[in-house]
Structure 1
Amino acid sequence: MTNDTTTGTWVAVGPAGAVGTIHRTADGFAVELYGRRGPGGTYPTLQSAKGAVHKAMGPLAERPEFRAH
């Protein structure tokens, strides 16, 4: 998992493949979850955005790997 906050996009990859992305914005970090309607929200820090992606995967899901792009 990368904590490189100079990157603009991170892809969240779980056991079944990509589950979403995080994009750096002027307001923080925007989360987009694949297969879900509407935006995933904007978070003030990269760590909080990663936590939101993990939580959206469900209570028993393993934390996804975040790959910087």
Structure 2
Amino acid sequence: MELKINNNFKQFESVQLSVQELLDLELPGKQNGIAVAVNHQVIPKPIWKNTLLSENDHILIITATQGG
């Protein structure tokens, strides 16, 4: 499966991934303070496990940072 993550194309061996599975692969242990959008739609954290991704989906992962 090919996905576009933060404007970079990435290939995955799995045919089916949920948002949570993608985050487990891309950001293991660093999932607090992030927001995820799939095809310009924000996905609430409680449904990451149940939201399945499709070939060529556009994923935006935003990480909160400290500072000011």
Say yes or no: TM over 0.5.
no
Tell which has more relative contact order, 1 or 2 (C-alpha 8 A, sep 6+).
2
Larger Cα Rg: Structure 1 or Structure 2? 2
